[in-house]
Amino acid sequence: MGLSCIFFYFCKNIILMKGFSVFGSIIWVRSRRAKNLSVKITTEGLKVTMPERFSEKQAMEFLHKEYDKILQKQKKLKERSEKTLLDENKSFPTATFIVNFIRTERKDVFFILKQGKLIVEIPQNADFESKKIQQACWNGINYFLRKEAKRVLPIRVKELAIRHGFKFQDVKIQSSKTRWGSCSGKKNINLSYYLMLVPDYLYEYVILHELCHTIEMNHGAKFWNLMNKVTDGKALELRKELKKYQIPDY
């Protein structure tokens, strides 16, 4: 039995003993480039990447130490995934188009964007709630969200910056699933194309949030005073409303 096989056999037995099977499947990877042990958490399991210098014992001690934290993060991911599960019987609006699902004789999922409607054609006998179909639907929806975000958001950033007297360097549209937007020290603004899933007044709130960071890089009192100034005193109200929206886990 090779060293890697011994390692996986060891880990498998420790996992069962410690109750780590609750995480689902666990993939173990040794990496020459890795400087520290890291864990990628998904709804279906974990991917544990270790530097070559790490021993099996150290890896298992790390998982044991972070057990509750990892379990909580995975629980939140699963909850978010359930909330963003598409329903073929319900259309939903984005900032610039409405998504509708229909059954057809096609063998694959197909998309047509026309006159403000994105028609998603689903194979007649496909299991709509399966991960395969859900992922295929979101892949297409994401394509059009990104395209529309690149068309709409940079222009809106410029308009709001001019209106409120902000200066920024550049705007980039990204696929971030962890935050709606960010601002670098060089005044470059990054926006997630998932902002197209929220009402326009909320993506404008995010844009204003990042523009305020071109002046105040922290979230101190001066920042929130500035935010209230550019949102007519509704900064915290808008912040609370934005939290009701979920970035899809697809």
Residue type, 114: K
Is this model's pTM higher than 0.75 or not? no
> Tell me, what's the pLDDT at 197?
96
Bridge partners (DSSP) of residue 75 are none
Give the alpha-carbon dihedral of 89, 93, 97, 98, to 10 degrees.
20
Low-confidence ranges of the chain (pLDDT < 50): 1-17
CB 197 within 8 A of CB 224: no
Q: For the chain, what is the radius of gyration of the CA atoms?
A: 22
Residue range(s) occupied by CATH 3.30.2010.10 in the chain: 92-242
Please identify, in words, the CATH class of the domain defined by 92-242: alpha beta
pLDDT at residue 1 in the model: 40
pLDDT for the residue 83: 62
Longest dimension (CA), the chain: 69
Spatial CB neighbours of 192, under 8 Å, sequence gap ≥ 6? 173, 174, 175, 176, 177, 179, 180, 181, 247
Q: Residue 45 carries which side chain, given as an amino acid letter?
A: G
